A and B are shown apart, each in its own frame.
Chain A
């Protein structure tokens, strides 16, 4: 099937009988060979539809007739246009891993041992401040967070549902870019969604991406190591620890299912070794 170009489009507010009620966007499409067709358009809320846009054919349920027969027809879809970063913006060091694996510790140590080369990026969050928080968080209201998100001022963001609210976490592009201005490498603590968002925002090759794994030969041993660390840390209730472990299992699976998102997986059995290894990599990049 051929791709096409939108010659014109309209939103029919009252489609004919037999078609689904409600507005129906219909385009006049010119195909590659010059043939023109009228066809429903699948629009994309993230970008306004305009004349001249390229569209791709897609089979889609058009309507269900009075006998219950489902009629499929070709619609045309506007492909998602991700802003392609032409220039390489710089490296971002991303640390991903389950809760309790030592991401914060590693990032803190990195910023002290090779502090003139790396700097931690503050995490923007809507959750309430609590005791034991390092200076790593910037607390904002959900309204402020969503405003930044809608204005495209976040490099990546995610929401984590908790008992009574939806908590948002994210990183501001201005914080990351300010660190680049100082000729330093930003260090970011991520989880699966934040890492994917970051990779699509700056491009995968900008991310020095490391997965931190707890020590242990099996998943059970790894989870057990995490459990002990979380209890030793003393910041969470047993209930919270249980939740964190549930998420940890998914985080460990993520290392396998999305291995292309990681440059390397590092077992955090000795924090000094890990910091030394990562610090060395950063220095290597900076010199290159």
Chain B
């Protein structure tokens, strides 16, 4: 990055079912928390970027940039970013571009999603918009179905057992117990995962991240310094449909974004102390760890069955246990990584956020102050 971009303020709502709050209420709550937490004031924000996927589907509401800007006293310019579940990472990336170009000095990025007010069928249909409407949807696939295909192939190629896969969600649930913002703060034993109702074989209900409401906001600035800066912000894309890919047990977009992010941050993979990764389905966590190079293909599960790992994975509880208000997730991950760095005193942490079946992948690497001052 040419000039350092700092995380000057962060805030989020609890993720979960917020039947008493609208899209706007959730947005406001997270923005207020971020401003309160920031070095700057609301009036210092000179640009707003809103991440959202399902405003039209679930709340009959488009034009979310202006909605967010209207929550600030001075109505700064605003835009909306949409890239399905990767909307959060895309919004952050756009903010970094604005800051690097000098177009803005302090940008508010807010991710918001309201999903629990409408029927499950309607939300499922909306989420299916993240896949290819011509190639994937006509067969009657749902998103769990797409990841069911991926999991089934993965288990076939790498001899992963159903019992082994149970450890992924079990670990995420265990981690969420101490996260006050998580939707499910409850430990779930591994054997209960595969005992839950089947959703899309071999995936069960407890392999899937839930439907959630929530918002998360970050204020990024080149003007107001803080202890955490963005060391890398990278996006990569892949084919929209899984049918156009040479393999479905590895995601090219994750690999590309990771390579570019390590290069941009000028660090090695082993420098990363904390990971928040995109576990929309349990199988996605394993594939993501492998694509980011933390495990060999087919061996991602070892990072879940062996507890003695130098790198923490989804300490927040991940998408599974924190909840997954889709566009808020990418922003919430960065907030969690920043908290983890502050708590541990380590130097680098990584947030991995993807949309659809990783047709868009965004990776952000955060760097904490201790190293910045040493330079």
Contact = CB atoms under 8 A, between A and B. Distances in A.
A26 B145 contact: yes
B358 to A, nearest CB: 16
Interface stretch (B27-35, B146-154, B290-298, B310-318): B146-154
B148 A11 contact: yes
Nearest to A28: B149
B142 A14 contact: yes
Contacts of B141: 12, 16, 26, 38
A43 B337 CA distance: 46
B200 A28 contact: no
Contacts, number: 91
B61 interface: no
B125 A8 contact: no
A21 to B, nearest CB: 11
Interface stretch (B42-50, B164-172, B240-248): B240-248
A40 interface: yes
Contact of B149 (A10, A14, A73): A10
A7 B242 CA distance: 12
A35 B124 CA distance: 27
A38 B136 CA distance: 6
Contacts of B148: 10-12
Contacts of A17: 121-122, 124-125
Contacts of A19: 140
B260 interface: no
B331 to A, nearest CB: 29
Contacts of A13: 197-200
Contact of B198 (A8, A11, A27): A11
A8 B140 contact: no
Contact of A12 (B138, B156, B200): B200
Contacts of B198: 11, 13
Given A13-B197, A19-B140, A8 B149 contact: yes
B92 interface: no
B201 interface: yes
A74 to B, nearest CB: 9
B139 interface: yes
Contacts of A73: 138-139
Given A26-B149, A38-B149, A12 B142 contact: yes
Contact of A10 (B121, B145, B245): B145
Interface string A17-41: 1010000101110000001111110
Interface in A16-74: 16-17, 19, 24, 26-28, 35-40, 51, 62-63, 73
B144 interface: yes
A254 interface: no
Nearest to B131: A38
Give the most central of B122, B135, B141, B198: most A CB within 10 Å: B141
Nearest to B201: A11
A45 B149 CA distance: 20
A28 B242 contact: yes
B139 A40 contact: yes
A12 B153 contact: no
B248 A14 contact: no
A62 B138 CA distance: 9
A14 B125 CA distance: 12
Contact of A16 (B124, B151, B152, B245): B124
A40 B248 contact: no
Contacts of B122: 17
A9 interface: yes
Given A8-B149, A28-B248, A51-B156, A14 B199 contact: yes
Interface in B177-209: 197-203
Given A10-B145, A12-B142, A38 B153 contact: no
B139 A8 contact: no
A15 interface: yes
B222 to A, nearest CB: 45
A26 B140 contact: yes
A17 B128 CA distance: 12
A36 B244 contact: yes
A10 B200 contact: yes
A27 B121 CA distance: 22
B240 to A, nearest CB: 13
Interface string B239-270: 00011110010000000000000000000000
A8 B153 contact: yes
Given A8-B156, A28-B153, A40 B200 contact: no
A175 B88 CA distance: 71
A16 B242 contact: no
Given A9-B152, A10-B148, A14-B142, A38 B243 contact: yes
A7 B153 contact: yes
Contacts of A12: 140-142, 144-145, 148, 200
Contact of B139 (A35, A38, A51): A38
12 contacts: A7-B153, A10-B149, A10-B200, A12-B200, A14-B124, A16-B140, A16-B141, A16-B142, A17-B125, A36-B244, A62-B140, A73-B139
Interface of A: 7-17, 19, 24, 26-28, 35-40, 51, 62-63, 73
3 pairs of A and B residues whose beta carbons are closest in the complex:
A10-B148, A8-B153, A36-B243
Given A9-B152, A28-B153, 17 more contacts: A8-B149, A9-B149, A10-B145, A12-B145, A16-B121, A16-B124, A16-B137, A17-B122, A24-B140, A28-B149, A35-B243, A36-B243, A36-B245, A37-B139, A39-B139, A51-B153, A73-B139
